[in-house]
Structure 1
Amino acid sequence: MILYAAILEMVDLKKDKEHLDIHIDYLNKNIEAGNIFAKGPFTDHSGGLVIYKANSFEEAKELVENDPAIKHGTRRYTLKEWKSNIE
């Protein structure tokens, strides 16, 4: 598995609050499926970070783009392959 860091930048805070529960449900389902290494919000409320486990960039991109926060336009994302230096 390759790790991919998705930075989910807040676009519409009010609209995001309306979709927050389904966003969290989506992430929790992917944690249970083994697709997420780590996740959490930024403390300044500007968005959050999700580190996905995937076999390819395309697979990680599909996971991000199926996130309700992305689908409903409350956040936009940047996706990068990421490597941990902690062994």
Structure 2
Amino acid sequence: MKYFAVFLPMKDEGKSKELRAAHLAYLEEKEEEGKIFAKGRFTDGTGGLVIYQAADFAEAEELAKQDPYVTSGARECEVHEWTMTLAK
């Protein structure tokens, strides 16, 4: 499995608030499937980040684009392959 960092920049704060429960339910479902490594919001209110675990870029992009925030247009979606480096 590879890791993919998905930035979810804010486009519509009102829509984001309305869809928060659906977004969190979607992420919970993907966590149960073993598709999420980490997730969280940016404290400055500009959006959030999800790190998906997927076989390839296409799978990660598909997962990211199915998020209710993205399908509704509340958030943009930027997918980047990510290599984790641990301090020794």
- TM value normalised by structure 2: 0.96
Unaligned runs of 5+ residues in structure 1 are none
1:59-78 equivalent positions in 2, closer than 5 A: 59-78=59-78
SS at match of 2:76: strand
Q: Compute the displacement of 1:77 (Å).
A: 1.1
Give deviations 1:3-60, integer Å, cap 9, x for gaps: 0000000000011101110000000110111000000000001100000000010000
Unaligned runs of 5+ residues in structure 2 are none
SS at match of 2:77: strand
Point out the structure with the larger strand share.
Answer: 1
1:52-63 equivalent positions in 2, closer than 5 A: 52-63=52-63
Q: Distance in 1 between matches of 2:78 and 2:72?
A: 16
Q: Distance in 1 between matches of 2:6 and 2:48?
A: 8
Query: Between Structure 1 and Structure 2, how many residues are aligned?
Result: 87
Root-mean-square deviation over aligned CA pairs: 0.9
